[in-house]
Amino acid sequence: MNPPDYAVFGHPISHSLSPRIHAAFGKQTGIALNYVAIDAPAESFAAALARFAGDGGRGASVTLPLKQDAFRLCTQTSDFARRAGAVNSLTRIDGTWHGDNTDGPGLIRDLTGRHGLDLRARRTLLLGAGGAARAAAHALLDAGIGELFIVNRSPERADALADSIGLPKRVHTRYWDDLAGLGGFDLIVNATSAGVARETLRLPFGLVAPRALCYDLSYGSAAFGFLGWANAAARTARGSKALDGLGMLVEQAAESFAIWHGTRPETDPVHDLLRAELPLLATD
């Protein structure tokens, strides 16, 4: 087998679906590729990426917790990656890495394309201020949401994100303990990694407005805690619903595939295949 030409880096990484997704896209489009998962803790990521490039690596996805490190390792970055301060998609060009952020576009494509949601003017709560939250904040604001409230376990990171966005009339930060007094939201995005760490978020049901969407960026069992809370809240918040980030995962992968191979694959067949294996919690 030739050395891999594409890879996803992260830590932990063994459960990543990205190799399967990119293999399916390659098969669908008739593009031969060898895409593997490479386990890389933050301290050895730069060396692992350099080794991959030396062996002929042409493109890399980057996941938890390396997106801000990836940003620093790029010689050039896209406008959106610079605004987010995070890179999840690297392309080897003339011996250096070019960084993009496909998480933001992937999130919006899933919400508006697959699920047909109108995001405009939605009063939005963003939980988390890490790499994924940064991309989500910019993408959601670009898509026309209304006010954005950012709440993070470490409040200074929420403040840093809000400051970097620079829209003080539209973007606000609050402490976790303030959540009970914030009223209802039309869109609640969980961009924390609490579910991955099997930790539970303390969230009042009153956050969920009627017809709201509660969206967890994680998927599979990592999303069960948040989706369970959202489904319980739906008993009083009529018409609200809950989704996980599986669709975003497939869409961000398709965006990266398009950057690397010049053609955008069809995402629904791959999404539907994975959804059959990773069902959303039943809504009752």
Q: Which residues bind ligand NDP (CB under 6 A)?
A: 64-65, 67, 103, 106, 128-133, 152-154, 157, 191-194, 196-197, 199, 201, 217-219, 222, 245, 248-249, 252
- Residue 276: partners with Cβ closer than 8 Å, 6 or more residues away: none
Distance between CA atoms of residues 210 and 276, nearest Å: 28
In the bound state with ligand NDP, the residue whose beta carbon lies nearer, of 3 and 41, is 41
In the complex, the smallest distance separating the C-beta of residue 239 from ligand NDP, rounded to whole angstroms, is: 24
Distance between CA atoms of residues 249 and 264, nearest Å: 15
Dihedral sign for Cα atoms in the order 123, 139, 62, 109? positive
Q: Find how far residue 127's CA is from the centre of its chain.
A: 13
In the complex, the smallest distance separating the C-beta of residue 154 from ligand NDP, rounded to whole angstroms, is: 3
Max Cα–Cα distance, the chain, nearest Å? 58
In the bound state with ligand NDP, the residue whose beta carbon lies nearer, of 55 and 199, is 199
Q: Where on the phi/psi map is residue 224: left (φ > 0), alpha (ψ -120 to 50), or beta?
A: alpha
In the bound state with ligand NDP, the residue whose beta carbon lies nearer, of 211 and 214, is 214
In the complex, the smallest distance separating the C-beta of residue 51 from ligand NDP, rounded to whole angstroms, is: 23
Q: Where on the phi/psi map is residue 112: left (φ > 0), alpha (ψ -120 to 50), or beta?
A: alpha
Enumerate the active-site residues: 67
In the complex, the smallest distance separating the C-beta of residue 56 from ligand NDP, rounded to whole angstroms, is: 26
Count of H-run helices and E-run strands, the chain: 10, 12
SS3 189: strand
- Residue 62: partners with Cβ closer than 8 Å, 6 or more residues away: 8, 9, 10, 69, 70, 87, 88, 89, 90
In the bound state with ligand NDP, the residue whose beta carbon lies nearer, of 115 and 211, is 115
In the bound state with ligand NDP, the residue whose beta carbon lies nearer, of 72 and 211, is 72
In the complex, the smallest distance separating the C-beta of residue 111 from ligand NDP, rounded to whole angstroms, is: 12
